[in-house]
Amino acid sequence: MSAAATAGGVLAVVVPAVAVATPAPTTGGDAAEVRLASDADRDAQVRMIASIVPVDSAPDPEPPEVDVGDLLKAAGLADVARQAEELRAAREAAAHCDADLDGLGRVKPWVRAAARFLSCLYDEPTLIGVSRRSRHSDHPSGHAVDLMVRGERGDRIAECALANREELGISYVIWEQRVNHGDGWERMEDRGGDTENHVDHVHISFERSSPDGVPDASRCK
């Protein structure tokens, strides 16, 4: 009977020594001489058996599965985040341009800062600050600014101002015959013309004290 043993990943077959009977010269009887197989014979038998027995080996581990869709999604999100950050940085830089504020007169410092912020973001429209008005207005005291625009650009300026109302110290915005104190637009009476109805400019009035916050250009379209 043979016994098989596996050591170090190599199959070895161990064959125990067996008695081999060989005839011996007889001298007068049927006696037989018994001898053990030599070590050389046993080694040869092991090599012969090992050469015909297949050696098992552990299979290589399979690589982990990769979801290509997840990789593409992650890359796309990274691109979107990078583009958003670049746009935010560009808007912040644009909001601090060297705009011409000469037309404002001696408005309050926070009114001047708000005029610069909005003017720089929206292609520097003509600005009107301190001026006389026939009716009650915040202009003579330096607490108001008009940005002379029409149409879609005026929409964006008005919404940007309201989005940063607290940071800019804005009390209300008038645009296209509507007024907004921060809680929604309300229709105003018809005053008879584009300027009086604020169709050709966005009017912004400001609080009497300086605000503490910092406006955020990323809130603006």
Residue 8 clears pLDDT 60, i.e. is over it: no
User: What's the predicted TM-score (pTM) here?
Assistant: 0.60
In whole numbers, what is the pLDDT of the chain averaged over residues? 80
Write down the residue that tokens 């670049």 correspond to.
86
149 Cβ neighbours under 8 A, 6+ residues apart = 122, 125, 157, 200, 201, 202
pLDDT in tens, 192-207: 999 999 999 999 999 9
Q: How many domains does the chain have?
A: 2
In a domain, residue 74? The reply is: no
For 129-152, what is the mean pLDDT? 92
Q: Which two tokens stand for residue 11?
A: 């199959």
148 Cβ neighbours under 8 A, 6+ residues apart = 125, 126, 127, 128, 200, 201
Cα gap 149→146, rounded to integer Å = 9
Instruction: Indicate whether 51 and 132 sit together in one domain.
Output: no
Per DSSP, the three-state class of 26 is coil
Instruction: Indicate whether 120 and 167 sit together in one domain.
Output: yes
Instruction: Indicate whether 44 and 107 sit together in one domain.
Output: no
User: Shortest CA distance to 121 belongs to which of 145, 97, 144, 103?
Assistant: 97
Instruction: Please name the helix (run of DSSP H) or strand (run of DSSP E) that holds residue 162, with its range, or none.
Output: helix 151-163
Instruction: Indicate whether 214 and 152 sit together in one domain.
Output: yes
In a domain, residue 66? The reply is: no
Q: Which domain holds residue 97?
A: 87-219
For residues 22 and 41, which has the higher predicted lDDT (pLDDT)? 41
Query: Cα-flanking dihedrals φ and ψ of residue 51, to 5°?
Result: -75, -20
Q: How confident is the model at residue 186 (pLDDT cuts 50, 70, 90)?
A: very high
pLDDT in tens, 154-170: 999 999 999 999 999 99
For 10-38, what is the mean pLDDT? 47
Query: What local confidence, expressed as pLDDT, does residue 133 receive?
Result: 75
